[in-house]
Structures are given as structure tokens and as C-alpha cells.
Structure 1
Amino acid sequence: MGLEGKRIPITARTISIIDAYDAMTNDRPYRKAHSKEYAIKELLKYAGKQFDPVLVEQFISIITNKKVLIK
């Protein structure tokens, strides 16, 4: 079994969110890019499951130019 939750380094958890957002919002050979809004909905949908929910919240705050609160 691999690492889970907080045992996964924060850098890896952060990169997984950024990578997913990038994959969804850029063209791929097999599909056109999804909208920023679609990507945000997908990140929120999987927050707490596939992605760290606190980091998803902070990432969305950054890309939507909202104030980021470090907890």
C-alpha cells in the first residue's frame, strides 16, 4: 500500500491539484480544453477524496484572485 492523507508530502499533494487543473484546462490530442469553471467544479468534487480539501480551497482562491488565508 502507498501513502495516504497527510503522510503524502505537501509538495506532492499540491502538484497533484496543479497537474489535474492543467490537464483539464489545456487541449489534449483527444479533446479540447475544459473551462476554468469546469475544472474548479471537478477539483471541488474530488476534494477530500482524491485531493487535499484545504489545498484545493487555497488553489482555487489563488486562481480566482481571492484572498488566501493560510491556516
Structure 2
Amino acid sequence: ICFLHTHPRGLKGEEIPLAARIFAVVDVYDALISDRPYRKAWSEEETIKCLLKNSGTLFDKRVVKGFLEIVRSDS
């Protein structure tokens, strides 16, 4: 799966507004843990592994870390 989140104005890293970086993580998490017509939902464990694997490349490391702290505290 490729989650190439490119910014329409060509922004990279910290240039991308924080809200957009947060949305990218939340959106992918929600998409993966939800059933879709073309595939079954991923488990929470698989989804977390995916976010961690792509942390620092496709997703902001700090956003992933903070998001997973919230997700894990709710479990």
C-alpha cells in the first residue's frame, strides 16, 4: 500500500501545516481499520505497524507518536 501524501503546493516536512500532518495520520488509520467494499479492515495491530513503519517518511514522527499514545490509552 502506498500512502504518498504529497502537498498540492509542493510543501515538505515542517512546511506542511500541522493540521494537515495530523489529518494524514488520522485519515489513514481510519481507512485501514474500516471495512471497504474492496477489502476487509486491517487489525489495529497491523494498522499501528504500518503507521510506525512509515513514521518519519510518509508521516510526521511526532504526530504518529502522539496519535498512537492516544489510541493505546483508549484500548
Is TM more than 0.5 here?
A: yes
Q: CA RMSD in A?
A: 1.2
Instruction: State the partner residue of 1:69.
Output: none
Long gaps (5+) in structure 2: 1-8
Q: Percent identity?
A: 47
> Do residues 36 (structure 1) and 44 (structure 2) align?
yes
TM-score (norm 2): 0.85
TM-score (norm 1): 0.89
Which residue type is aligned with residue 37 of structure 1? E
Q: Secondary structure at the match of 1:65?
A: helix
Which residue type is aligned with residue 10 of structure 1? L
Long gaps (5+) in structure 1: 67-71
Deviation for aligned residue 1:33: 0.4
Runs of 4+ in 1 over 3 A off after TM superposition: none
